[in-house]
Amino acid sequence: MSGAPASGARDNDRVMDHAESSPLDASPLPTDHPLVTGRTTDAPLIRALHATRPATRPVWFMRQAGRSLPEYREVRGTVPMLDACLNPELAAELTLQPVRRHHTDAAILFSDIMVPIALAGVGVTIEAGIGPVVASPIRTAHDVVRLPHLDPEALTPVVAAVRLAVRELDTTPLIGFAGAPYTLASYLVEGGPSRDQLRTRAMMHADPVAWHELAAWTAAVSAAFLRAQILAGASAVQLFDSWVGGLSRADYRRFVQGHSAAVLGGVADLGVPRVHFGLGTVELLVDMAEAGADAMGVDHRIGLDEANERLGGRYPLQGNIDPALLFAGERALAEHAREVMAAGTQAPAHVVNLGHGVPPNTDPGVLTWLVDLVHAEPPAGG
């Protein structure tokens, strides 16, 4: 394992801060939580997210439990997405499959960012080839007022799935996740996926009060979703903001940042590391980090060395292998992956991941090969 990261005195201080006082010291986590019992405390992922460098680089993939796995297709069959997410035994099995096959350093719960929206009572389905479809889009102040309250008891199937997966994972951490307020709100306003979110952005400016009430509602739902996963055994969490890259910095800071901060702050007392990831967010990295992240996920549009410089060398970074390189052959993928890992040495620590999710037509053997490549690389400074 290497010594202090090569990013200056501030990084040395940050590493020492993590070593001398654990965020779990005053955490209200259950006594059987993997971070309390010590099962996942020294896992490479957790060490990296706490800004220390483990002997091997941790690696996992967004959307790693998905259609690229034949065992996934066999087990899930024709079960609708939301039904699969809310079947604890099935969700746990789909969570575990990629860890068994690829030997990744973390599992991520098989679920969907729209699960808590559906459990709150909003009419939403997830259509194959389309994504989330909202039966009655939220576009007026009256619509916002009528949004239902999420009963914590409705999250029981999610809690059960987490507990089943954590029991089987043993020393491998489970990552919980939730959608960020902007992305969830944009689905509600647009009625489904939208690359430009014209209605959403118009609502922000046309009726800021209604927008902030909607974003506060989605923030509360996401915070409850994250909190339930953590208390059930998740050792880290990630907040996904898939659509926020379409905003200007000014709009992000005015309309979004505070609501994302509310989600991340809503689980801060639990002491687990929180990763914040957005797609197409090169110009928003600093603002997203300031919302309260412990580590930053970085997509494939910027080098990790440049991202680290923008962030002042203060955050462990996650990413950011271009998913397209999964189809480019071993030589090109190996060269690119090593470049990413070299750039990651500039940050306080590095979790290897893709710059976005695993494409559904990926050869699973390529992912297994990539995990082996990452694990075989000498550690930074080694």
What is the residue extent of each domain of the chain?
Answer: 9-376
> pLDDT tens-digit profile of 185-200?
999 999 999 989 999 9
Kind and range of the H or E run holding 35: helix 34-37
pLDDT band at 66 (very low <50, low <70, confident <90, very high): confident
pLDDT band at 22 (very low <50, low <70, confident <90, very high): low
213: pLDDT strictly greater than 90: yes
Tell me how far apart the alpha carbons of residues 66 and 361 are, in angstroms, rounded to a whole number: 10
Strand ranges in 209-260 using DSSP code E only, listed in sequence order = 236-241
Record the pTM.
Answer: 0.92
17: pLDDT strictly greater than 60: no
| Catalytic-labelled residue, pool 39, 76, 201, 227 | 76
| Catalytic-labelled residue, pool 187, 201, 299, 315 | 187
Domain 9-376 falls in which CATH fold? Answer: TIM Barrel (3.20.20)
- What pLDDT is recorded for position 378? 87
- What pLDDT is recorded for position 12? 34
The two structure tokens encoding residue 264: 């991340």
Tell me how far apart the alpha carbons of residues 232 and 165 are, in angstroms, rounded to a whole number: 10
If one compares 81 and 10, the residue with the highest pLDDT of the two is 81
204: pLDDT strictly greater than 80: yes
Per the annotation, the verdict on 63 as an active-site residue is yes
Those residues with Cβ within 8 angstroms of residue 77's Cβ, 6 or more apart along the chain or in another chain: none
203: pLDDT strictly greater than 50: yes
- What pLDDT is recorded for position 101? 97
- What pLDDT is recorded for position 279? 95
Per the annotation, the verdict on 305 as an active-site residue is no
Q: What are phi and psi of 355, to 5 degrees?
A: -80, -5
The DSSP bridge partners found for residue 59 are: 352
Tell me how far apart the alpha carbons of residues 295 and 351 are, in angstroms, rounded to a whole number: 10
- One DSSP character per residue, 57-102 reads --B--TT-SSTT-HHHHHHHTT--HHHHHT-HHHHHHHHHHHHHHH
How high is the mean pLDDT of the chain? 93
Kind and range of the H or E run holding 25: none
Per the annotation, the verdict on 53 as an active-site residue is no
**Portion of the chain with pLDDT greater than 90, in percent:** 89
> pLDDT tens-digit profile of 246-269?
999 999 999 999 999 999 999 999
Tell me how far apart the alpha carbons of residues 185 and 260 are, in angstroms, rounded to a whole number: 12
Sheet with 317-321, edge to edge strand ranges:
107-108, 174-179, 236-241, 274-278, 295-297, 317-321, 350-354
Per the annotation, the verdict on 274 as an active-site residue is no
- Contact by Cβ (8 Å): 236, 46: yes
Tell me how far apart the alpha carbons of residues 223 and 152 are, in angstroms, rounded to a whole number: 11
Per the annotation, the verdict on 187 as an active-site residue is yes
Tell me how far apart the alpha carbons of residues 193 and 129 are, in angstroms, rounded to a whole number: 11
| Catalytic-labelled residue, pool 105, 112, 294, 322 | 112
- What pLDDT is recorded for position 9? 33
> pLDDT tens-digit profile of 79-119?
999 999 999 999 999 999 999 999 999 999 999 999 999 99
